[in-house]
Structure 1
């Protein structure tokens, strides 16, 4: 079958590399792709990954039978919905389900409603109200831009001044654009982070091996958060006992919650977790394969990725 991979990063290169190992894969196209992928996929430039009509037209021209959407922006823009409407199988959540990453307030409210363990939080659209809450709660505290900010819209403030400055930066200076018109202020969670990437058909959810990425920019976990600067897997913190607890308390309840909300979630669900003294809690959900985690997790997958995606 012909496969189209949407995206251009190292994550998409890994997806192409893994898909190419399947006997079911005849020809792989990448839009826009990158030179590193060119040995395995035909890279097509000049098509915007946020232009759903152009993506569908390309898929139809190339007789694509499976589209794999890598980045969060086309997912939250409804690319999967567009492929489905054209009768093309697509791996990834539909727009309504991708909201679990597209809006942090939606994600937090979902967890609160369905008792999925996460940090205590409040949502604000007014800077002064957010600051008053921060003064009352004290530091350390975490401030998150509500919308998509390429994994960088999170500020872990260790002091009160830093936290108040973060509100000015996100809401006043619009450091992350419109993503910061609403903020989520969360309690600081202490512990070790673990990333769990999962396959789900909307009913069943299966985790891949646990991984861990390096978020803070300087050595010894110092400095501001980045979108992740490298990763390794399997992460020892993700013990079989921990993963069993995560499956029961976080993954299965989340998939059921999304279905109950009329947002059936299919594709890859990324659960970013903090292993606290009270047990694992959700830091964030992503609606796609994590980057850089995919680069270390998929090489450890022994199954045929095309078969998994079709299922």
Structure 2
């Protein structure tokens, strides 16, 4: 199987990766939008969990990660529910980790263990301990394949960075002791700036906040009215929308009508209709400078100022006024 990706390039994949990609759990991710409800109000916000999952796998491959870590990267989001993190708002998971809590159960009850067993692997050895995969996951504020891919993929697709900028950054990544780092402070400054475009300017865009808030309210109400069940969230976005659309419940229908591309909102801290805070996400990667390791913020005023501004905005949250 050959696969091509805008960010990472073209690769010929082993049969185990092909089988996993073609499996139902991974194919389902084509119907899960990474930005949650955003695509309902802005059709350009349409990156899927499938694109991200394949991208993470390929980034690990590009950086020399093992086949096992590539498998972990491909499958790391396989338990994401419809509308991604919107479901965390439905179930009031402040750490936005609902998909992680159900991961073991989702994988165990899928075809994934059999595929892995066929190729000589145990799913428990590959998928249940992220700490062994140091390219795939690192605690914030460091870089990792997951964090880098969703940042670059979203920001490239949404027009905030160019493809040449993204690929240049990836080409400048270095791997030391199976962890990724920017190769110089300029590269660190660029990825920090791009990351905050993602988590502050995009995640906290008033329109995005509005859409996710309205959809979370709609889905919570649909659960209470037994139009949906918790297991339905392991279906695709469009299926859930259709189930709500096809119900005769007038309250749900009215809420659904509030999610459309013509919605106009703005930030207004005095006269607002809703206020929401997202999970605090910061980035301050380590950089090798003069043969010593430093946090980028300790040697770059620009990184330090961007971090302070992002922290202030994240803690304040977004105040949204519907026009």
TM-score (ref. length: structure 2): 0.22
Q: TM-score, length-normalised on structure 1? A: 0.23
Comparing both structures, which one devotes a greater share of its residues to strand? 1
Higher helix share: 2
